[in-house]
Amino acid sequence: MKQPPGALEAARKREQAKRAAQTPSANGKHARLILQRLDALKPQPVRYLVPGFIPLAKLCMLAGDGDGGKSSITNSIAADHSRARPALGQHYTAAEHETLFFSCEDDPEDTMVPRLLALGADLAKIHRLKTAVNSDGKPMPFSLSDVDLVDASLEAHPKIRMVVIDPVGAYMGRTGRDDYKDSELRTVLDPLAELAGRRNVAIILIKHLNKASSASARHRISGSTGYVNACRQVFLVALAPEDSEEDRRVMLPIKSNLMKERRGLAFRLSALPDGDAQRVIEQHAQHLSPADRQRLRDQLFGVKWLGTTDDNADAVLNDNRQKSRPKIKQCADWLRAFLADHAYPSKEIEEAAAKEGFSRDDVFRAKAALKTAGLRNRKRGMGEWWSGFGDPDNWQYRAEIPE
């Protein structure tokens, strides 16, 4: 049926009027868009927490499997900047700043504090969320929807320049939003990004990888791709490729909106040298029994930065070393129990491991993974290598156990 002249235009105007009537209003006036001409703005450089890697006023992300070193990286940045030291092995004039951790996986007293002390942190400049309370002072659950509470904390502590949410999925789940749906995820991340810009802080999201082993690094990050899209810098933290040193790890760019050069960094986690460990114990652990002081000493480790690397995130995730991680973790768990009380020679360890279904290579990698837990290796005289936990001078060797 042919429309009369002007019918389509009239229909369009009626639809516009209908939408205008439904537009939310404030103070009796219809809402409207505020436009800004760009010639009213002055260009500014990107400001960095760690030049070239961690920008201020932005969302960033570290993604990787468990035990890869994500928390160690954020701990090292917090520790270095609490002492006005340059972080990530870089060379720049660092300012002293404070850090706020939202962490629901690591216990503060037996995990966070020892790790930060081992890294030389000034703990007075590092904060963590203990709990949230309502207006009556009663505890309440905290989620990433509570951006106003984070904002108030940053206003009360203006020296905070880094906020770490570890892992972000735990605090996202409490919002009731489905983080596999981009539209729902962005209703949480966009206010968080706006907060980062307004308060001039770097907000670092810690994220786990999914099990899609054939996917690219960008699509290995669990949840919606909105996580990657909302962040300006996204890094993979993982074991280095198969043909490199066993305990070498890498921090590689997956996405970078700001870096001119897509540089990656290599690092190693290693037990704290005896002298440094002893200083930590003497200064901070005198309240513990001798046995507990020794246990604490055995779990102290540091981060050693090894410089830049050309490794590629996609290639690293496709490396066989990543695919074998579940078995290496099983071997490490077995080895931790096997060496709990006594040091053993390498040959006996490998023979016992073979009976459990672990290869010599599995043992070698598991030993590397356990270095941060205090595993040490020592050669006895001109003989073979032995392995055990804690200070080798205090080992009870397997061959010396009385019958």
pLDDT tens across 181-224, in order?
999 999 999 999 999 999 999 999 999 988 777 778 999 898 88
Residues 248 and 298 in one domain: yes
- Whether residue 237 contacts residue 60, with contact meaning beta carbons closer than 8 Å, is answered with no
What distance in Å separates the CA atoms of residue 81 and residue 50, rounded to the nearest whole number?
Answer: 10
pLDDT of residue 361: 79
Q: Which helix (H) or strand (E) holds 281?
A: helix 274-284
Residue 328, both tokens: 């290496």
Residue 243, both tokens: 């043909």
Q: What is the pLDDT of residues 4-44, one digit of tens each?
A: 666 666 666 666 666 555 555 555 567 899 999 999 999 99
Q: Residues 249-274: what's their mean pLDDT?
A: 88
- Looking at 284, 317, 350, the residue that finishes a domain is 317
2 pLDDT above the threshold of 80: no
Which CATH number do you get for residue 340? 1.10.10
pLDDT bucket at 53, cuts 50 / 70 / 90: very high
Residues 229 and 334 in one domain: no
Residue 92 lies in a domain: yes
Give the strand pairing for 202-207 and 233-239: unpaired
Residue 213 lies in a domain: yes
Residues 113 and 145 in one domain: yes
104 pLDDT above the threshold of 80: yes
pLDDT bucket at 124, cuts 50 / 70 / 90: very high
Residues 273 and 342 in one domain: no
Residues 367 and 219 in one domain: no
Higher-confidence position of 350 and 77? 77
Residues 102 and 144 in one domain: yes
Q: How many percent of the chain have pLDDT more than 70?
A: 88
Higher-confidence position of 389 and 259? 389
What distance in Å separates the CA atoms of residue 373 and residue 352, rounded to the nearest whole number?
Answer: 21
Residue 312 lies in a domain: yes
Residues 220 and 306 in one domain: yes
Residue 230 lies in a domain: yes
Q: Which helix (H) or strand (E) holds 79?
A: helix 70-82
Contacts by 139-144 with C-beta closer than 8 Å and gap 24+?
Answer: 141/174, 142/102, 142/171, 142/174, 143/171, 143/172, 143/173, 143/174, 143/175, 143/176, 144/168, 144/171, 144/172, 144/174, 144/175, 144/188, 144/189, 144/192
Residues 311 and 329 in one domain: no
Amino acid occupying residue 97: H
Residue 28 lies in a domain: no
Residues 295 and 362 in one domain: no
63 pLDDT above the threshold of 50: yes
pLDDT bucket at 403, cuts 50 / 70 / 90: very low
Which CATH number do you get for residue 176? 3.40.50.300
Residue 24 lies in a domain: no
Q: Residues 67-77: what's their mean pLDDT?
A: 93
Domain of 386, in residue numbers: 324-400
Tokens 């880094």 correspond to what residue? Answer: 162
Residues 197 and 93 in one domain: yes
The domain total for the chain is 2
Mean pLDDT, all residues of the chain: 87
What distance in Å separates the CA atoms of residue 291 and residue 86, rounded to the nearest whole number?
Answer: 35
280 pLDDT above the threshold of 90: yes
98 pLDDT above the threshold of 70: yes
Give the strand pairing for 160-166 and 98-103: parallel
Q: Residues 89-104: what's their mean pLDDT?
A: 95
Q: What is the pLDDT of residues 282-333, one digit of tens each?
A: 999 999 998 888 888 888 899 999 999 999 999 998 875 566 667 788 888 8
Q: Residues 363-377: what's their mean pLDDT?
A: 81
Tokens 């209908």 correspond to what residue? Answer: 18
pLDDT of residue 245: 62
**Per mean pLDDT, which of 143-147, 213-217, 321-325, 386-390 is the most reliable?**
143-147
134 pLDDT above the threshold of 80: yes
